[in-house]
Amino acid sequence: MSAIRHALSIKRQDDFAQWYQEVVAAADMAEESGVRGCMVIKPWGYGIWERMQRLLDARIKAAGVQNAYFPLFIPLGNFVREAAHVEGFAKEMAVVTHHRLISDGKGGLIPDPEAKLEEPLIVRPTSETIIGDAMSRWVQSWRDLPLLLNQWANVVRWEMRTRMFLRTSEFLWQEGHTAHATRDDARAETMRALEMYRAFAEDDLSLPVIAGEKPENERFPGAAETWSIEAMMQDGKALQAGTSHYLGTSFAEAAGIRYQDREGGQQLAHTTSWGVSTRMVGALIMTHGDDDGLRVPPAVAPQQIVILPMLREDDGDAALLAYCEALRASLAGQTALGEPIRVLLDSRPGKAAARRWDWVRRGAPLIVEVGPRDMTEGKVAVLRRDRLWTEAGKPDFAFMPRESFVAEAAITLASIQQGLHAEAHARREANVERGIASFEALADFFAADKRYPGWAEVPWARPTGAALDAVVERLKALKLTFRNVPLGAGPAEGACLFTGEPAVERILVARAY
């Protein structure tokens, strides 16, 4: 087996941002389009997103939430009714003002002045306002509640600085929207969605996250409460991987979502919204990638096992291909992580070593090479993507009987899934500092000469209003942000790091994407 290494040209420790961009390209995930901030998601990258969709959609439906679809274009008036909401998105909104183009007489096109829309349309940045309109029609009585909806869609937010998957002008997501009779019911739904995201990230993506409440300055525009799951990337920065919002009754009041209660009175509904996006693909890359490319957790890998026959373009190839096809069929008949194993026979022309490194860069969990001698002896050579190299710097192939590999494939895939999570969890816990006792010590922890400092969990007094604004400005000077107040964090002993007042809880501070 060839030991030629086709690694990336950039190592994570040298330039993490450029390493990330190279992984996206080398793993054939996506490419830039002709529109700034918009990307073409290629089949391998979209295959990972499809796996995420399938697994998360099953969790959503298991909770009794139904999928629906709402328009891409939203009347500006819908946003104007909710002032706090529109203020939060105003700088990112794309606006449609005309419905037709005409020639400018110089070989170009311009908007037709006679085709100006009576009311501008916003290209969907989020759907609270238009779904609220529908809810106001669909909810009339307490019997109509709870109303549990979700949509899979694209949204547009005109970002100034973009990076593929992490922050793009157009991205794909799911957004759940629910209406409830009481605050308690709505908050229970908010927390249910938060726990769903936590389990999805941990179990399906092998992505360790910390769930908790966002401080006032980090809330979704117009929300009463915002909760998030936060993940640590390999450069120590935080990435907000999903959010769940209790919206109170403000959105219901703006949209007119009222219902007749059991006593005949009129009440405002309590609403929620929650979502995750293709940003999760970026989180997967930055959490599990290595200096050879991507490593995909088996649960979301489009192909969990790739078989590479060592073809020689002679009369023996037909027999070797038949042997490999029988191996593929045997594996596909097995179940791993609750589903049939996804296995691909890659019979493209070219040397097996070159094709191997193509799949290494893409992060296929198991790569199996089979040559004529292996066929004769009934063996296979198996390479685990999670532990690619021996101490001697050679590919860490395991040579085993074909029957043994087939019998153990499901266990091996589960081991890779668990191992990636354990590795990421250990890295995070080693890089969360919980002993910082002053703002000066916090600044030192995040000093510029510390390349990947990690996170700090510190006591604070939950300031609000102007007091919180002052704290946020101090953090901004250090390029830091509040992430969340972790559920189940340790006791808040001592004084707030920022105000000196008695602490009431602990909060995570980090640099973030």
Is 117 domain-assigned? no
For 455, residues 6+ apart whose C-beta sits below 8 A from its C-beta are 232, 236, 238, 431, 432, 433, 483, 508, 509, 510
Given 254, 288, 322, the domain boundary residue is 288
CA atoms of 32 and 171, how far apart (whole Å): 13
Give the model's confidence band at 450: pLDDT under 50 very low, under 70 low, under 90 confident, else very high. confident
The two structure tokens encoding residue 187: 């908050």
User: In this structure, what CATH number is given to the domain that contains residue 55?
Assistant: 3.30.930.10
Residues 174 and 310 placed together within one structural domain of the fold: no
On whether both 51 and 90 belong to a single domain, the answer is yes
Check residue 452 and give its pLDDT: 83
Q: Say whether both 72 and 167 belong to one domain.
A: yes
Q: Alpha carbon of 439 to those of 2, 468, 506: distances in Å? A: 54, 15, 14
Is 325 a domain residue?
yes
Claim to verify: residue 361 and residue 482 sit in the same structural domain: no
Q: Which of 121, 125, 122 is nearest to 154 (CA)?
A: 125
Q: What is the pLDDT of residues 101-129, one digit of tens each?
A: 999 999 999 999 999 999 999 999 999 99
pLDDT given for residue 88 in this prediction: 72
Looking at residue 14, its pLDDT comes to 94
Q: How far apart are the first and last CA of the chain?
A: 40
CA distances from 306 to 23, 370, 381, 390, 418 (A): 19, 11, 12, 21, 20
Domain's final residue, options 364, 383, 418: 418
CB 333 within 8 A of CB 265: no
Output phi, psi for 81, to 5 deg. -65, -25
Residue 48 to residues 30, 201, 219: CA-CA distances in angstroms? 12, 14, 29
Residues 312 and 253 in one domain: no
- Statement to judge: residues 166 and 278 lie in one domain: yes
**pLDDT value at 245 more than 70:** yes
How many distinct helices (H) and strands (E) make up the chain? 14, 28
Average the pLDDT over 224-239 and give the result: 98
DSSP string, 215-235: PGGGSPTT-SEEEEEEEE-TT
SS3 label, residue 486 = strand
Question: Within this chain, do residues 191 and 303 fall inside the same structural domain, yes or no?
Answer: no
Q: Are residues 158 and 234 in the same domain?
A: yes
Residue 350 CB-density burial (10 A; 0-12 exposed, 13-18 middle, 19+ buried):
exposed
Same-domain status, 238 and 372: no
Q: What is the mean pLDDT of residues 173-193?
A: 98
| Confidence band for 68, pLDDT divided at 50, 70 and 90 | very high
CA distance 271 to 133: 13
Average pLDDT over the chain, rounded to an integer: 95
Q: What pLDDT was estimated at residue 1?
A: 45
Residue 209 lies in a domain: yes
Strand partners, 458: 507
> Phi first, then psi: what are they for 187, rounded to 5°?
-70, -35
> Is the model's pLDDT at 337 over the cut of 80?
yes
- Within a domain: 138: yes
On whether residue 150 sits in a domain, the answer given is yes
Tell me if the pTM is above 0.75.
Answer: yes
**Cα R_g (the chain), whole angstroms:** 26
Question: Given this model, what pLDDT does residue 6 score?
Answer: 62
Could you give the percent of the chain with pLDDT greater than 90? 89
Domain range for 210: 16-95+124-288
On the question of pLDDT at 468 being above 50, the answer is yes
The upper half-sphere exposure of residue 217, i.e. CA atoms within 13 Å in the direction of its Cβ, equals 17
Mean pLDDT of 482-510: 94
Rounded mean pLDDT of 306-317? 84
Q: 238 and 167 in one domain? A: yes
Given a cut of 60, whether residue 3 has pLDDT beyond it is no
Q: Please indicate, yes or no, if residue 2 is contained in any of the structural domains.
A: no
Asked whether 25 and 31 are in contact (CB, 8 A), the reply is yes
For residue 510, the SS3 value is strand
Residue 89: predicted pLDDT: 78
Residue 5: which pLDDT band, with cuts at 50, 70 and 90?
low
- Dihedral over Cα of 129, 130, 133, 139: its sign: negative
Pairwise CA distance, residues 165 & 283, whole Å: 9
The CATH number of the domain holding residue 449 is: 3.30.110.30
Strands 209-213 and 225-232: antiparallel
* CATH code assigned at 334: 3.40.50.800
53-62, 459-468, 485-494: least confident range: 485-494
- Boundary of a domain, candidates 288, 322, 345: 288
Q: Cβ-count burial of 229 within 10 angstroms (0-12 exposed, 13-18 middle, 19+ buried)?
A: buried
Predicted confidence at residue 350, as pLDDT, reads 81
**DSSP code at position 182:** S
Angstrom CA distances, 425 to 420, 429, 489, stand at 9, 6, 16
The pLDDT, as a whole number, for residue 318 is 92
pLDDT value, residue 315: 65
Check residue 314 and give its pLDDT: 65
Q: Are residues 139 and 249 in the same domain?
A: yes
Least confident of 131-145, 203-217, 344-358, 495-509: 344-358
Q: What's the length of the chain?
A: 513
The answer to whether residue 102 is domain-embedded is no
Residue 260 lies in a domain: yes
Mean pLDDT to the nearest integer, 458-463: 96
Range in 75-84, 107-116, 208-217, 327-336 with the lowest mean pLDDT: 75-84
Calculate ∠ Cα 231-232-237, nearest 5°.
120
Could you give the number of structural domains in the chain?
3
Same domain? For 281 and 303 the reply is no
